[in-house]
Amino acid sequence: MNSTVRLGVIGLGTQGSTYARFVTDGRVPGMTLGAVADSDPGKAGRVESEFGGVPFFTDHRAMLDSGTVDAVVTCVPHYQHPQMGVDAIERGVHVLVEKPAGVHSLQVKRLNAVAAAHPDVTFGVMFNQRTNPLYRRLKEIVESGGIGRIIRSNWIITTWWRPQGYYEQSAWRATWGGEGGGVLVNQAPHQLDLWQWLCGVPRSVFAKVSYGLQRDIAVEDEVTVLADFGEGSTGVFVTAVHDLVGTDRLEIQGDAGKIVVEGSKVATVTRFAKPEREISAGIGPEQVAQLFRGQLDVSELQTTETIEFPSAWGEQHVAVLANFAAAVRGEEELIAPGAEGLLGVRLANAVHLSSWTGREVGLDFDDEQYLALLNERIADEALFPQRHGDE
């Protein structure tokens, strides 16, 4: 492998052009822009003027076969991510898929199977929040037992306010057949990934979901999830697109401490001197009386640390691209291996399935059942063709 990875960008929309600019501005070590592919031939002139005349293709497969790129990033509608990933991997071209890795678990499982059959091809997913130094530090604390065994986690993430005009920008947005869902597949995949990255993959979920509650759309705009992580550990996830004020607060309660994150920027980590049950067992009647009078001082039983890192816009995406390039060269392990993209897709699918069936759904749900119910909604829309297991 050459020291420089030639990246092909598939889809020159907002995200694709951003990545292309990051690369051409020299912000991604060891990576250059090799080519751009977009189904709109009118974008050829833009590529010529903005990106130094790198090769332009209207078919991503032609770009993959051209020898102009070593790797690609998929910046296209969600349903297309898995097939484009397969197209790249089968040609020996390394691939970084945007989030989410796909819409339904069957198509992502196929992508993962193809990737597993080609271990020499680097396969990553754009979970840029995994490079956020705040969350990386919190993962270290959790995995080292810094707050003990996780008992409960809650994430309220409603900072996704989107006016009606946002959904009217294009016919595919906020549709079952075009986008595959609403806030769960568009705005919140990063938090769904971080939630299970930090706290573990839930065993099952029970969800109350509203479809078109506050927006004139068919897909979900309000979601409340109760998750069972096993061994008494539970979690709640709340997200919406109609909260004009917005809240971003994550709490992770352990049996020996607690983490509270505000605005995905500042974390307060409290560590107990001993597990909470031992503290409880050591509290006598006199101290209980003090507790009721508001006089019990527990400050000596815990320590508190505040964690905050500066984070400029774009740094986390650049970090994923740089890590991906280094992984292609065999210098680093992937921060976000592509196979892990299935976890967030399955979690979102399970939430939908729970709301559609009115029951608790295990993360080992029937993939075919989910796709069948999804296709019912696509048929009701009458805007897009129904989907098969590999698309």
Co-location of 101 and 134 in the same domain: no
Is 390 domain-assigned? Answer: no
Give CA–CA dist 256/275, Å, rounded: 4
Co-location of 83 and 191 in the same domain: no
* Rounded (10°) angle between helices 133-143 and 189-199: 30
Co-location of 175 and 209 in the same domain: yes
Co-location of 109 and 224 in the same domain: no
Co-location of 111 and 252 in the same domain: no
Pairing of the two strands 233-240 and 5-10: unpaired
The two tokens of residue 205 are: 């979920």
Co-location of 64 and 169 in the same domain: no
The two tokens of residue 158 are: 């409603």
Is 9 domain-assigned? Answer: yes
- The domain containing residue 109 runs over which residues? 5-127+314-336
Is 386 domain-assigned? Answer: no
Give CA–CA dist 35/236, Å, rounded: 43
Give CA–CA dist 328/95, Å, rounded: 10
Name 123's Cβ contacts closer than 8 Å, sequence gap at least 6: 85, 89, 94, 95, 97, 115, 337, 338, 339
Give CA–CA dist 193/295, Å, rounded: 41
Is 391 domain-assigned? Answer: no
Give CA–CA dist 359/387, Å, rounded: 24
Is 67 domain-assigned? Answer: yes
pLDDT at 391: 80
Co-location of 242 and 170 in the same domain: yes
Total structural domains within the chain: 2
The two tokens of residue 289 are: 């009386």
Co-location of 94 and 140 in the same domain: no
Is 388 domain-assigned? Answer: no
- The CATH number of the domain where 43 resides is what? 3.40.50.720
pLDDT tens for the chain, residues 1 to 391: 568 999 999 999 999 999 999 999 999 999 999 999 999 999 999 999 999 889 999 999 999 999 999 999 999 999 999 999 999 999 999 999 999 999 999 999 999 999 999 999 999 999 999 999 999 999 999 999 999 999 999 999 999 999 999 999 888 999 999 999 999 999 999 999 999 999 999 999 999 999 999 999 999 999 999 999 999 999 999 999 999 999 999 999 999 999 999 999 999 999 999 999 999 999 999 999 999 999 999 889 999 999 999 877 789 999 999 999 999 999 999 999 999 999 999 999 999 999 999 999 999 999 999 999 999 999 999 999 999 987 8
Co-location of 85 and 215 in the same domain: no
Is 171 domain-assigned? Answer: yes
Pairing of the two strands 31-37 and 56-57: parallel
Residue 164 one-letter amino acid: Q
- Beta-bridge partner residues of 154: 236, 251
Co-location of 325 and 348 in the same domain: no
The two tokens of residue 31 are: 């990576």
Co-location of 192 and 51 in the same domain: no
Is 179 domain-assigned? Answer: yes
Closest CA relative to residue 219, chosen from 159, 169, 167, 170: 167
Co-location of 268 and 167 in the same domain: yes
pLDDT at 271: 98
- The CATH number of the domain where 185 resides is what? 3.30.360.10
pLDDT at 2: 63
pLDDT at 58: 98
Question: With helix as H, strand as E and coil as C, how does the chain read?
Answer: CCCCEEEEEECCCHHHHHHHHHHHCCCCCCEEEEEEECCCHHHHHHHHHHCCCCCEECCHHHHHHCCCCCEEEECCCHHHHHHHHHHHHHCCCEEEECCCCCCCHHHHHHHHHHHHCCCCCCEEECCHHHHCHHHHHHHHHHHCCCCCCEEEEEEEECCCCCCHHHHCCCCCCCCCCCCCCCCCCCCCHHHHHHHHHHHCCCCEEEEEEEECCCCCCCCEEEEEEEEEEECCEEEEEEEECCCCCCCEEEEEEECCEEEEEECCCEEEEEEECCCHHHHHHCCCHHHHHHHHCCCCCCHHHEEEEEEECCCCCCHHHHHHHHHHHHHHCCCCCCCCEHHHHHHHHHHHHHHHHHHHHCCCEECCCCHHHHHHHHHHHHHHHCCCCCCCCCC
